[in-house]
Amino acid sequence: MDQQVTLVHPGEVSRAGPVSSGLPADLLEQMRGRIRLVALLMLVAFAVDPFFFFGSRAVAALEGRSLPADILRDAAFYWWDLGVVAASAGLWAIARDTRIPVARLRAIGLVYEVALCFIVALRTFGEYYRDTGVMPNLTWAPALIIIFPLIIPSPPRLMLATTVAAGAMPLLALVVLESLGAMPVSAAYYINTAVGSAIAIGFASVGSRVVYRLGREVAAARELGSYRLEEKLGEGGMGEVWRARHRMLARGAAIKLIRPAPGADGRPGVSAHAVRRFEREAQAIAALRSPHTVELFDFGVAADGAFYYVMELLDGIDADRLVRHHGPVPPERAIYLLRQICHSLSEAESRGLVHRDIKPANVFLCRYGEDCDFVKVLDFGIVKAVGAAPEGDGGLTGGNAIQGTPAFIAPEQALGDAPLDGRADIYATGCVAYWLLTGQLVFTADTAVGLLLQHVQAVPAAPSTRARQPIPPALDRLVLSCLAKDPDRRPQSARELSDRLEALDVGTDWTRDRALAWWNEHRPAPPALQAVPAG
């Protein structure tokens, strides 16, 4: 894919909760936004009259006069309005709090629907009769009953019970008004109101069943083996990445999914080339055992022909966002991270593989067990075996296609005229080191072609000349050696680069205590992890 997105920070995780509706978690999470919108609309709608009434009353009191009797008689209705305003404000705040599970939010929203129908009916009946002396033909309660199943999707039985309760509210409002002597109510009007509520309940029941069935169909379409897709995390040219959960183990995972190639009907899909590249990525990751390479759990083909593989779900941030959000890292931390990248690349080299797309976005720093700043190398989608046949028309890329990211590509990879080996990844790792230390790319240009030419021809400036922090001369020289145009002048393997990084004396070390302190300050851990002692 164009961008790997297997990251989920604890604060960003969906809190759908143990919902029994069978609807996808991301669709349920969308309920929060709809409930907030409805609550805000009701708050504004019911706040207008009380605002002017109580404002006029306050002004009149300050001026030592009283309001006309026809205005004061509406006071009871305005107090009811304030009740709706308070309830709506509370519901809006609850829907905004992502710590509250969707199941609980849904229950509160349904209770709100019932109460709102009662107050709307009570106000409409009472005020209309007082002003005209006749009963209104209808209220807004039936409309609310019909609309709420679309706002708060729920299992049909639960929604039926809620709509029946909401449909009974206009009848209850009539009973209350008649008992208070506010208006006489005939048996015919009770029947007429009951019929209107019954029709609304029927429409609401049909709507809730349609929404529920569609949601169930979406959930069924998202079943991949033992995993259930919960939320799309991103998409790119090669497919999609979803947050998923194992149905039996309740284990989170990231699933990379690619749809099948176009069929005879001409429907849009993914090319056979992308499918083969996808399969190769899964096989490459599955063959690697370095703890610093993203782990593959499963690989398969869905019922609709979609290819997928299941990876570990990581909690952290990639090196690209790390520098963009927090600035360049100290030299000792850069060394700590680079050596972990080398660990992953060294194993790939030992298996005759070249990653070909090492870049900050594919270097993921995470909280891994009790470790912080634990690096995972991602996205082996364009991995290539050393000595493999050229990728012509029958291969996985176009005949002279350049694979990689222009800002982090080795000269020989940019030219595409020589076999690649692990030293191309060493060059890209040097570019990553440059980014970590300076917060800047080695080269910049207006176009991708311009970047490629820079990598082939231009001499890079030393990181120390572009960094805002002091960089030890030995580290400066090592980064420049990684960026040598001639592969023979670079470190010849990831292991050699790791050993040379380890031998550097930068005056201080990036310790576990420092890493934990940084993560607790910038990306606070869940309580269970924060309690882990350092040392």
Q: In sequence order, what are the residues at sequence separation of 6 or more whose Cβ sits closer than 8 angstroms to the Cβ of residue 13? A: 243
Q: Rounded mean pLDDT of 351-359?
A: 86
Q: Rounded mean pLDDT of 350-378?
A: 88
Please report, rounded to a whole number, the percentage of residues in the chain having pLDDT higher than 90: 31
Number of C-alpha atoms within 13 angstroms, CB side, residue 354?
Answer: 22
Count helices and strands (H / E) in the chain. Answer: 18, 11
CB-based burial, 121-150: b 16+ in 10 Å, e otherwise: bbbbbbbbbeeeeebeeebebbebbbbbbe
Q: Rounded mean pLDDT of 2-23?
A: 40
Per-residue pLDDT band at 133 (split at 50, 70, 90): confident
Per-residue pLDDT band at 392 (split at 50, 70, 90): very low
Least confident window among 1-15, 63-77, 99-113, 341-355: 1-15
pLDDT computed for residue 339 by the predictor: 94
- The torsion region of residue 386 among left (phi > 0), alpha (psi -120 to 50) and beta comes to beta
Angle between helices 473-482 and 331-350 (to 10 degrees): 30
Do residues 243 and 8 lie in contact, with contact meaning Cβ atoms separated by under 8 Å? yes
pLDDT computed for residue 485 by the predictor: 93
Angle between helices 141-151 and 102-132 (to 10 degrees): 170
Residue that wins the pLDDT comparison between 403 and 360: 360
Per-residue pLDDT band at 79 (split at 50, 70, 90): confident
Rounded alpha-carbon distances, angstroms, from residue 266 to 258, 262, 305: 17, 6, 16
pLDDT tens digits for 164-205?
A: 999 999 999 999 989 988 889 899 999 999 999 999 999 988
Least confident window among 19-33, 300-314, 324-338, 406-420: 19-33
Does the pLDDT at position 19 exceed 50? Answer: no
Q: Rounded mean pLDDT of 340-364?
A: 89
- The torsion region of residue 305 among left (phi > 0), alpha (psi -120 to 50) and beta comes to left
Does the pLDDT at position 331 exceed 60? Answer: yes
Rounded alpha-carbon distances, angstroms, from residue 84 to 40, 45, 77, 89: 11, 10, 11, 8
Rounded alpha-carbon distances, angstroms, from residue 357 to 4, 286, 379, 391, 409: 11, 18, 8, 16, 8
Do residues 387 and 29 lie in contact, with contact meaning Cβ atoms separated by under 8 Å? no
Least confident window among 118-127, 187-196, 235-244, 520-529: 520-529
Does the pLDDT at position 440 exceed 50? Answer: yes
Q: In sequence order, what are the residues at sequence separation of 6 or more whose Cβ sits closer than 8 angstroms to the Cβ of residue 205? A: 156, 159, 160, 163
Least confident window among 252-261, 268-277, 452-461: 268-277
Strands (DSSP E) found in 280-439 = 296-301, 307-312, 316-318, 353-354, 363-368, 371-377, 384-385
pLDDT computed for residue 8 by the predictor: 36
- Count other C-beta atoms under 10 Å from residue 240's C-beta: 19
Q: Hey, what are 166's tokens? A: 């909401």
**SS3 per-residue string spanning 448-513:** HHHHHHHHHHCCCCCHHHHCCCCCCHHHHHHHHHHCCCCHHHCCCCHHHHHHHHHHCCCCCCCCHH
Per-residue pLDDT band at 271 (split at 50, 70, 90): low
Q: Helices in 308-416 by DSSP H: which ranges?
A: 319-326, 331-350, 411-415
Positions annotated as catalytic residues are 357
Average pLDDT, the chain: 79
Does the pLDDT at position 21 exceed 50? Answer: no
